[in-house]
Homo-oligomer: A and B are copies of this chain.
Amino acid sequence: MKLEKAAAQLEALGNPTRLQLYRVLVRAGDDGLAVGSVQGKLDIPSSTLSHHLKRLVDTGLVTQERQATTLICRANYPGMNALIGYLADECCADAICAPAVGKALA
């Protein structure tokens, strides 16, 4: 993973609303959640939600799939794993941390 991409993903998650949004999607599991359902849970205007969602999709942390008029959103676990891996490998020299996590994600 390139530093630029990692930074973009970190920035995407580095907003309370988006982090909360991402968490909601994670908890929804493999079934995902329609944009409208997410809106119901978070209670933010649809246009604001759409912008935040786009940011997560653009950085590769969330995927979307059309089902008729509704858009199903899913947390992209491999993307998150790659990011955690980057942090562990590139940004955590602690002997206790980096090798252990690196192995766990392998």
Contact = CB atoms under 8 A, between A and B. Distances in A.
Given A84-B87, A93-B75, A100-B104, A16 B23 contact: no
Interface of A is mostly: helix
For this complex, into which size category does the number of interface residues on chain A fall?
35 or more
A51 interface: no
Contacts of A26: 90-93
A29 interface: yes
A35 interface: no
Interface of A: 3-4, 6-16, 19-20, 22-23, 26-27, 29, 75, 77, 80-81, 83-84, 87-88, 90-94, 96-97, 100-101, 103-105
